[in-house]
Chain A
């Protein structure tokens, strides 16, 4: 069975600071991994996905994630946070059906 664990249900960072959202996965097969973002009253939007082509995956809005097999991790980072990044972020694993983590709400402090 596949699963993901997101560390921290809430993360606060100052505007301009590094954003780091943590995700660990469990999978018996090479995983396909995703980060989705959900803004208030909006649908889920794909930020980036890992499909084994490259371990460092670049996504939209300046986000990127690195696949580390030895650590079973797929952490999401952004060098400099913007106020507009405030949202809920979901790490996910799967192929036909996607298994989502519980989410991390990102707060940006002015």
Chain B
């Protein structure tokens, strides 16, 4: 069990550029979650997948954001036309199957995005 991994760990980009982050969940975990954490705040839920199906999207996820999990394994989060307000830590988590009441969400180290 190697844990949840995220790539890259850090990304610096210029405003208006597109960026893509990758998350590899723990093997055999069916659920995958994306959160965003800004400085001095707790993580905020963005979206989650059950296998390849995206089950819920937060209103925080504007149309510039898109997440995929095409084969039910790794997931990507793309931000188009980045803005300075997108600067944050993007966290990925995975859990085995059911809701958090019974399954623990394991978090990755995050990808820190800085938009200049």
Chain A residues with Cβ under 8 A from B74's Cβ?
Answer: none
Q: How far is the CA of A64 from the CA of B109 in the complex (A)?
A: 25
Which residues of A from 67 to 110 have beta carbons under 8 Å from B? 90, 92, 94-103
In chain A, positions 53-76 with a C-beta closer than 8 Å to chain B are none
Bound: A41/B105 CA distance, A: 18
Are the C-beta atoms of B42 and A90 separated by less than 8 Å? yes
Q: Is the CB of B41 within 8 A of A103?
A: yes
Q: How far is the CA of A101 from the CA of B84 in the complex (A)?
A: 24
Q: Is B40 an interface residue (CB 8 A)?
A: yes
Q: Measuring CB to CB, which residues of chain B are less than 8 angstroms from any residue of chain A?
A: 4, 31, 33, 35, 40-45, 48, 55-56, 58, 91, 93, 99-102, 104-110
Cβ-closest 5 pairs across A and B:
A100-B42, A44-B107, A95-B99, A43-B107, A97-B45
